[in-house]
Amino acid sequence: MNHQKEHDFFQSLKNNLIRHEKRNAFFINNVFYSYSELAQSISNIRSIIKEKTNENEKIIGLITNDDLETYAAILALWFEGKAYVPLNPSVPNERNQKIINEAGIITIIDSSELTVFANFNTIESKKIKTVSLNLNPTESADNNLVYLLFTSGTTGKPKGVPISKENLEGFLSAFWHLNYDITEEDRFLQMFELTFDLSVMSFLIPLLSGSCIYLVPKDKIKYSYIIELMEEQELTVALMVPSMLYYLRPYFDEIDLPKMKYSLFCGEALSLDITQEWSKCLPNSKITNVYGPTEDTIFCTFYDYKKLEPNKTYNGILSIGKSMLNNYSIIVDENNAILSAGKVGELCLGGVQLSSGYWKNEEKNQESFFYTNYNNRHERFYKTGDLCKIDEFGDLLYLGRMDFQIKIQGYRVELSEIEYYAKEFLSKINVVVLTIIDHLGNNEVGMVIESKKFDSKELLEFLKLKLPYYMVPKKVNFIDNFPLNSNGKIDRKELETLFYNK
């Protein structure tokens, strides 16, 4: 299937909904849903969007449930020239309220039995009458937004990242250019919360291929359900976060996935050792390490793991490879001067997938985006905060984070945001939040409080009201005085030893 012929992916989605009407589009909680059922749900939801919103209302909230209506709502909004803002009903209400306020949301689409947010113009997507099919996308410019995602911010205020149709078209062109052989016979894993942009690849690529998407519902034990889906449903394509491999590792001896064609990893550093072990479970699969922040639309570099020859690594971490089509990557010093091969600096990204900048946050945009001369052109770049170097063959080697921003279960987390709320509760007591490694080798959050020991239960309960579950510290330690390094800064490395010397 030549996916590159149809430039407008809205039109491609429409054509596939009709072309593959009898095929399965989704597998959710052991039930298959056809492309025909998806098309009907899209049409029904569109009819209410037209009725209950005005033309100027371009950004709509979406409660992220694991059901056909939630995914149908995304396509319905796109066909109406609108963008979705995913709102996870399981995170604290206050956080979602901040996102709603930042995005200026008036209307929320919700498939829940009881609507999550009162006092909004709510479209109850499970309670809509059936209408005639309407799959024609409205005429809309390429710079229309398709989604607005909010990532962790340093002051308790989530940062909005707007992604345009043009950005997403850029990603799709770059993805198809990798020459993945994907057809309507393929079966895709979708393990991500819709607030995480890796979800977009996991549902959009299959829908553009007439393939079936296999969801991992939130109420399932993720890793065991993923094994079940992969084996019983013979999945052929899976994008996962590397930390999932550490949960699957105890079962590697039993896992046999001969039908798997493509196994992709993104969201965290991917270790060579576990990749080698994983490759034995999928004898016929290509394994690819992909990389990219939300600001550069899903992922923008790729490195294919080699089973039979040496792989490029740094400290045991697989290379993140080269830029995809129409993407650029440079390494810069602290003055944004481009460094030559072999020099360590900050990885910066440019090209068609790059977001227009943070939502209503000019100060952050000034910090994170800049222009420089690249290939004799004035190009805009994004500072990733990742330390990298480029080898003599143009492959990127990942060395780690420059700041205290980390990935927990694939979600980007600013440690300073957790500190912000902890200090708010503790008033004048100082805290440092660190990333620590658990017994499975995964990142988790640890907190050190500069105080005599006390019961931290109330503090943790407070943080649960303010933050998503994956940002709440798993371990808390106490110290009379924080150690300082030679620069007079708190010695975070020294504090980390509190969690391991026990």
Which residues neighbour 264 within 8 Å (Cβ) at sequence distance 6 or greater?
237, 238, 239, 240, 287, 288, 289, 290
Does the pLDDT at position 424 exceed 90?
no
Length of the chain: 502
Closest CA to 211 of 389, 397, 32: 32
Q: What is the Cα–Cα distance from 357 to 155, expressed in whole angstroms? A: 18
Q: What is the Cα–Cα distance from 466 to 93, expressed in whole angstroms? A: 8
User: For residue 4, what pLDDT is reported?
Assistant: 44
Which tokens hold the place of 268?
A: 């965290």
Does the pLDDT at position 124 exceed 70?
yes
User: For residue 429, what pLDDT is reported?
Assistant: 83
SS3 annotation, 219-230: CCCHHHHHHHHH
Q: What is the Cα–Cα distance from 162 to 249, expressed in whole angstroms? A: 36
Q: How confident is the model at residue 432 (pLDDT cuts 50, 70, 90)?
A: confident
Lowest mean pLDDT among 44-48, 306-310, 434-438, 475-479: 434-438
Can you say whether the dihedral through the CA atoms of 368, 201, 234, 304 is positive or negative?
Answer: negative
Does the pLDDT at position 435 exceed 50?
yes
Give me the mean pLDDT over the 435-444 stretch. Answer: 84
Which tokens hold the place of 233?
A: 């449903």
Average pLDDT in the chain: 91
The C-alpha angle with vertex 259 and arms to 175 and 35, in degrees rounded to 5, equals 60
Does residue 470 sit in helix, strand or coil?
A: helix
User: For residue 69, what pLDDT is reported?
Assistant: 98
DSSP-derived secondary structure letter, 205: H
User: For residue 91, what pLDDT is reported?
Assistant: 87
Q: What is the Cα–Cα distance from 356 to 162, expressed in whole angstroms? A: 7
Q: What is the Cα–Cα distance from 343 to 389, expressed in whole angstroms? A: 6
Which tokens hold the place of 453?
A: 């020991």
Does residue 368 sit in helix, strand or coil?
A: helix
Q: What is the Cα–Cα distance from 140 to 468, expressed in whole angstroms? A: 35
Give me the mean pLDDT over the 119-126 stretch. Answer: 92
Q: What is the Cα–Cα distance from 40 to 349, expressed in whole angstroms? A: 40
Q: Where are the beta strands (DSSP E) in 409-495?
A: 411-414, 431-437, 443-450, 475-479
Q: What is the Cα–Cα distance from 157 to 100, expressed in whole angstroms? A: 12
| Parallel/antiparallel/unpaired status of strands 411-414 and 405-408 | antiparallel
Q: What is the Cα–Cα distance from 259 to 355, expressed in whole angstroms? A: 36
The owner of tokens 């100027």 is 56
pLDDT in tens, 136-177: 999 765 569 999 999 876 667 789 999 999 999 999 999 999
Q: How confident is the model at residue 417 (pLDDT cuts 50, 70, 90)?
A: confident
4, 325 Cβ separation under 8 angstroms: no
Q: How confident is the model at residue 405 (pLDDT cuts 50, 70, 90)?
A: low
User: For residue 86, what pLDDT is reported?
Assistant: 97
pLDDT in tens, 322-374: 999 999 999 999 999 999 999 999 999 999 999 999 999 999 999 999 999 99
| DSSP letters spanning 130-143 | ------PPPP--TT
Q: What is the Cα–Cα distance from 411 to 474, expressed in whole angstroms? A: 16
- How many whole angstroms from its chain centre is CA 334? 27
Q: How confident is the model at residue 31 (pLDDT cuts 50, 70, 90)?
A: very high
Q: Which residues pair with 405 in a beta bridge?
A: 414
Closest CA to 95 of 115, 111, 117, 77: 117
The owner of tokens 């109406």 is 80
User: For residue 6, what pLDDT is reported?
Assistant: 47
Q: Which residues pair with 327 in a beta bridge?
A: 351
Lowest mean pLDDT among 125-129, 370-374, 405-409: 405-409
Q: What is the Cα–Cα distance from 220 to 178, expressed in whole angstroms? A: 33
Q: Which residues pair with 369 in a beta bridge?
A: 382
Q: What is the Cα–Cα distance from 286 to 265, expressed in whole angstroms? A: 11
Closest CA to 212 of 38, 83, 73, 46: 38
User: For residue 155, what pLDDT is reported?
Assistant: 66
The C-alpha angle with vertex 285 and arms to 259 and 354, in degrees rounded to 5, equals 120
Give me the mean pLDDT over the 240-266 stretch. Answer: 92
pLDDT in tens, 40-93: 999 999 999 999 998 899 999 999 999 999 999 999 999 999 999 999 998 888
189, 14 Cβ separation under 8 angstroms: no
Q: What is the Cα–Cα distance from 451 to 137, expressed in whole angstroms? A: 59
Domains and CATH numbers, the chain: 8-13+31-140 (3.40.50.980), 325-387 (2.30.38.10), 412-500 (3.30.300.30)
Question: Residue 32: how many CA atoms within 13 Å on its side-chain side?
Answer: 12
| DSSP letters spanning 92-105 | -HHHHHHHHHHHT-
